[in-house]
Amino acid sequence: MYSPIALLVVIAWIPTVIYLFQRFPPQRAVIVSFIAGWLFLPVINYTLPGIPDITKMNATCYGILLATVIYDAGRMTSFKLGWLDLPMLIWCLCPLPSSIANDLGLYSGFSSVLDQTMTWGVPYFLGRIYLANLMGLRQLAIGIFIGGLVYVPLCIYEVRMSPQLHLMIYGYYAGGVEYFLQSIRFGGYRPMVFMNHGLMVGAWMMTTTLTGIWLWKSGTIKHIWNIPVPRLVIVLLITFVLCKSTGAYILLVIGIVLLFSSTWLRTAIPVFLLILGMSLYLYQGVTGSVSGEQIYDIAVKVTNEERAQSLKFRLDQEIPLSEKARQRIIFGWGGFGRNRVFTRDWKGDLVDNSITDSLWIIVFGLNGLVGLVSITASMLLPPASLFIFRYRASYWFHPKVAPAAVLAVALILYMLDCIINAMTNPVFALISGAIAGLVLKEERTNQVTGKRLSASRRSLAQARLN
């Protein structure tokens, strides 16, 4: 049950966002609205008939859309659909054919389309129209870094005192008692702050730490709040370690290795190999050929027995769900829990024994191959295209290009995390839209090399502040 104050705060956030557009330039207003809304608004999913549920990010999107109509309507009308936008468009629309194919009716289909559009499509669209240049991505990267720094004292408090802030301010536990119990780790606590689960906080702090490291090493920024960036990065890194998220630890190491190795080798091949590996894993998951035992053996060597057992349990749960999804392989089963696996208990009653931890298996079951391919392409195609058509790895260390490079890698790591977890974060859809818009920009003069190059050439490394 949500408290009245939580609902009031989320509703009041809409006019607050409109005010931010009066207070700040449009790019900064969008960034502040998204990051502040994600970090501090309550976890709420208030159902209303006929329209998407009220959530903190839906309220943020409503506010930004209204502010755009009021103050900057020309930005919407200037939007032109590009080839990189097609995966996101298909992802937002695919619940409709899924509903029709399963005889669930048009109302159910349109309702799901609205929900999917608000969660993924609108943030992507806002990234496309507001942040689709190097300056916008720079501000977004700095905003994410600052968002991590602001979370430092809150995370440290909950590491010591247990996840209490959401209860203290909004009157209830964000993820319920079950998620609170899951926060007990290694003799302490894993912070949840104002997010649904401690894993969300871990993934967020991983992203902010990776972003901070790259902004520091590339010389993009020197000081924040008159404090040298290296000191802030160290504080952020220590706080991230205290978040006690093993998966996020691994993602941070992978991100650092990808960025530094690609820059040193002057090629994005390490990034493309990761994308290829993710694609092969999803192919094996769809076809049912994933070897859980081999993955378990690797996990034991990389982490420990407990974490490896947790991973193996998730993989084992995906086997029957994947088998069920293959029965409706094109458009999936649609909504109403039809994608889940039911068995009969000793009384003969149907019991739902499904545990869906990963985003990919949820999408595959609900919307089939169409949904899985479109959501994967909408998140991976923009960063891959950025590295192929716009910026070679040799330019990732350039202060103008570095923010775009690190956000692109962070987006890839988010999709890697979605293979294991189902932590929806619209900030990454915002990043995807911004990167897609940057790739789709017309031919411009490169201010890094001083040459005029075509956007379709591999050697292009534009660094203009579009």
How does pLDDT run across 39-59, given as a tens digit for each residue?
999 999 888 777 788 899 999
Of the chain, the percentage scoring pLDDT greater than 70 comes to: 91
| pLDDT at position 351 | 77
| pLDDT at position 333 | 92
| pLDDT at position 361 | 92
Mean pLDDT of 174-191: 78
| pLDDT at position 1 | 63
Of the chain, the percentage scoring pLDDT greater than 90 comes to: 67
Residues contacting 430, CB < 8 A, separation 6+? 30, 34, 123, 124, 126, 127, 131, 140
Position with higher pLDDT, 295 vs 11: 11
Mean pLDDT of 377-394: 94
30 pLDDT more than 80: yes
Mean pLDDT, the chain, rounded, equals 88
- Which of 100-109, 187-196, 312-321, 347-356 is predicted with the least confidence, judged by mean pLDDT? 347-356
| pLDDT at position 353 | 74
Comparing CA positions, the residue from 414, 422, 280 lying closest to residue 339 is 422
| pLDDT at position 341 | 81
Position with higher pLDDT, 333 vs 175: 333
Strands 227-228 and 223-224: antiparallel
Position with higher pLDDT, 79 vs 257: 257
| pLDDT at position 449 | 41
| pLDDT at position 166 | 92
- Which of 53-57, 88-92, 353-357, 460-464 is predicted with the least confidence, judged by mean pLDDT? 460-464
Question: Tokens 């806002």, residue?
Answer: 126
Q: What is the pLDDT of residues 184-237, one digit of tens each?
A: 877 788 999 999 989 999 999 999 999 999 999 999 999 999 999 999 999 999
| pLDDT at position 462 | 46
Q: Where are the domains of the chain?
A: 4-438
- Which of 105-109, 260-264, 326-330, 401-405 is predicted with the least confidence, judged by mean pLDDT? 105-109
443 pLDDT more than 50: no
- Which of 9-23, 297-311, 418-432, 437-451 is predicted with the least confidence, judged by mean pLDDT? 437-451
Reported pTM: 0.91
| pLDDT at position 310 | 73
Q: What is the pLDDT of residues 366-384, one digit of tens each?
A: 999 999 999 999 999 999 9
| pLDDT at position 293 | 67
Q: Which amino acid is at 325?
A: A
337 pLDDT more than 60: yes
> Measured in Å, how far apart are the chain's first and last C-alpha atoms?
46
Q: What is the pLDDT of residues 125-150, one digit of tens each?
A: 999 999 999 999 999 999 999 999 99
